[in-house]
Amino acid sequence: MAGKQFPSLAHSRAAPASSRRLLAAGAASLLLLTASYFLLLSPSSHRPSHAILASPSATTSFLASLDRFLSYPHPSASAAAAPGDLDAAIRDQEETRLYGDTAWPAPAAGPLRVYVYEMPSKFTYDLLKLFRDSYRETDNLTSNGSPVHRLIEQHSVDYWLWADLIAPESQRLLKNVVRVQQQEEADIFYVPFFTTISYFLLEKQECKALYREALKWVTDQPAWQRSEGRDHVIPVHHPWSFKTVRRFVKKAIWLLPDMDSTGNWYKPGQVYLEKDVILPYVPNVDLCDYKCASETQSKRSILLFFRGRLKRNAGGKIRSKLVEELKSAEDIIIEEGSAGAQGKAAAQDGMRKSVFCLSPAGDTPSSARLFDAIVSGCIPVIISDELELPFEGILDYRESTVCSMWMHAADYDCNIWESFNPLADWL
C-alpha cells in the first residue's frame, strides 16, 4: 500500500552515486516528455508573426494566444455542406480510390482525415470572446474555491486543438492530421463546441439551453445520422461539461482528462478506452525549458514537494492521509496552496527546487499537477486509483514518473515504487 511506504521517506538521506546516475537518466526521460508535451501545445518557432497560434513565448498563455486568435477575421464557412446522399458520395470516393485514382493514399498509409464542422459562432467564437472579455473583470470561484477562468485554462486543450485544425496548412503543428473540406473524404468529424467555457461562464439555464441547441445542431447532421456519432469527436474535457445531454452522444468519441469509471463523474457505459481519448491538462505553471532545467538542477534541495488543496473528495481524500504521514518529514514540503498569481508563483518555485513532486488524485482520478510537475522538470509521484494517463500507448511513464495506487497498489500495473531504483534507494 502506498500509504505504508511513505513513513520511511521521512528518514531519507542522500542517494548513493549509482542511484544518482539512475535519477539523472529518469530526469532526462522527463525532459523528453516535457519537450514532447510542450510541442503538443506550442507552434513551431519559425512561424510568421501573424500565425493563428502566435509565437512559442505566447502560446504557454491561453489568454495571450486567444487575444491574437480573435484579432484576425473569422475564416469564412468554406467547408462544403454534406452531399444530398452521403452514402453514395462515400461509395463513389472509395470506388475512385480503389479503381480509378492511383494518387489517392491508402487509408493505412495516409494521415488521419478530419472534417471540422463550421458551427454557428454562438458555439465557438462567441464563447471564446466571452472568456477573453470577462477574464480580467471577474474573480468568480467554483463551489470548491477554484478560480473559474483558471479552471477553463486547465481544460483549454479543445481550443489548442481546434485552432490548429483550422489554421492555414503551412502554420499547422499536427502534420499527421489533415483537414478535409468534403465530408465524404473524412475519417472522423470534429465538433468544435466549447463545452467547458459555456458551463462555467453562462447562467445555468442558459447553458442548458445552449447544450440542447448544440445537441440538435450536431445530431441533425447527415454524417452523425449515418454513424449515430461513432466517428464524431466531441471535447468533454471537464467532468461537468455537456453533462445534461451526454446520454444522447455516448457513442461519439469524447476527449477527456481522465476516465473515472467509479460513476462519480460519468455514468456507466458513457466512457471507455475503446472509443475515447485521454488528453492532458494545460499546465498552470510556466515551462522550465532546457536552460531553466540546467540552472535549477543543482538547486533542487527539496526531496518531495506538494502545494495545493489538502482536502478533496473521492480519491482526493488521500491528500489528508499524506499530510498525516509526512507532516514532520525531513526535506519534504506539503502545504496548502492558494489560488491566483501568488499561488502560481509559489507552486512554480517549489517545483523547480524539488526532485520529486506529489501528484495525488483530486476530485477526479487525475490532476493538473502532474503536468505542472512535467513542465517544471520535477519527477511526478502519482498516487491515484482508476487513473488513465494521456498517450500511454506512446509514452512509457515508468521512465519518468513514480506511480502507485493508494487503495489497490498490488493490482496497479504502474506500481513501481520498488522498481524505480532511485526512489527505492532513498526509501
Question: CB–CB of 372/347 below 8 Å?
Answer: yes
Strand pairing of 177-179 and 188-190? Answer: unpaired
CA distance 417 to 13: 17
> Are residues 39 and 113 located together in one domain of the fold?
no
Alpha carbons within 13 A on the beta-carbon side of 403: 22
Does 260 score more than 70 pLDDT? Answer: yes
What's the mean per-residue pLDDT of the chain?
Answer: 74
CB environment 202-223: b (16+ within 10 A), e (fewer)? beeeebbebbeebbebbbebbb
Which of these three, 278, 297, 313, is where a domain ends?
278
Segment 334-360 mean pLDDT = 85
Does 26 score more than 60 pLDDT? Answer: no
- Least confident piece of the model among 50-54, 159-163, 298-302: 50-54
- Least confident piece of the model among 15-29, 138-152, 387-401: 15-29
DSSP secondary structure of 283-300: PSS----HHHHHHHGGG-
> Are residues 202 and 332 located together in one domain of the fold?
no
Whether this model's pTM surpasses 0.85: no
Q: Which domain holds residue 339?
A: 2-43+283-426
> Are residues 233 and 190 located together in one domain of the fold?
yes
Does 68 score more than 80 pLDDT? Answer: yes
Q: 109-113, 155-159, 325-329 — which one is most confidently predicted on average?
A: 155-159
> Are residues 96 and 134 located together in one domain of the fold?
yes
DSSP secondary structure of 204-254: HHHHHHHHHHHHHHHHTSHHHHHHTTTTEEEE--STTTTGGGGGGSTTSEE
- Find, among 259, 194, 248, 241, the residue nearest to 224 by Cα: 248
Chain position carrying cell 469527436:
233
Quote the pLDDT of residue 408: 44
Does 409 score more than 50 pLDDT? Answer: no
β-partners of residue 277 are 255
Quote the pLDDT of residue 229: 94
Quote the pLDDT of residue 376: 92
The answer to whether residue 52 is domain-embedded is no
> Are residues 20 and 124 located together in one domain of the fold?
no
Quote the pLDDT of residue 51: 41
Quote the pLDDT of residue 94: 61
Q: Which three cell numbers stand for residue 62?
A: 491561453
Segment 164-168 mean pLDDT = 90
Quote the pLDDT of residue 196: 93
> Are residues 344 and 216 located together in one domain of the fold?
no
- 163: how many CB neighbours lie within 10 A of its CB? 25
CA distance 159 to 136: 19
Residue 159 binned pLDDT confidence (cut-offs 50, 70, 90): very high
Quote the pLDDT of residue 410: 33
> Are residues 240 and 300 located together in one domain of the fold?
no
> Are residues 138 and 170 located together in one domain of the fold?
yes
Segment 99-123 mean pLDDT = 76
Residue 406 binned pLDDT confidence (cut-offs 50, 70, 90): very low
Segment 160-168 mean pLDDT = 91
Which of these three, 236, 260, 278, is where a domain ends?
278
Residue 248 binned pLDDT confidence (cut-offs 50, 70, 90): very high
Quote the pLDDT of residue 231: 94
Amino acid (1-letter code) at residue 246:
R
Quote the pLDDT of residue 93: 63
Q: What is the CATH number of the domain that holds 15?
A: 3.40.50
- Find, among 188, 191, 175, the residue nearest to 107 by Cα: 188
The answer to whether residue 54 is domain-embedded is no
Residue 39 binned pLDDT confidence (cut-offs 50, 70, 90): very low
Q: Taking CA 326 as the corner, what is the angle to CA 375 and CA 21, rounded to the nearest 5 degrees?
A: 50
Residue 353 binned pLDDT confidence (cut-offs 50, 70, 90): very high
β-partners of residue 358 are 381
Quote the pLDDT of residue 10: 35
Instruction: Provide the 8-state DSSP code for 185.
Output: G
> Are residues 105 and 207 located together in one domain of the fold?
yes
pLDDT in tens, 183-194: 989 999 999 999
Chain position carrying cell 507552434:
43
Segment 391-407 mean pLDDT = 71
Chain position carrying cell 492555414:
168
Chain position carrying cell 498525516:
324
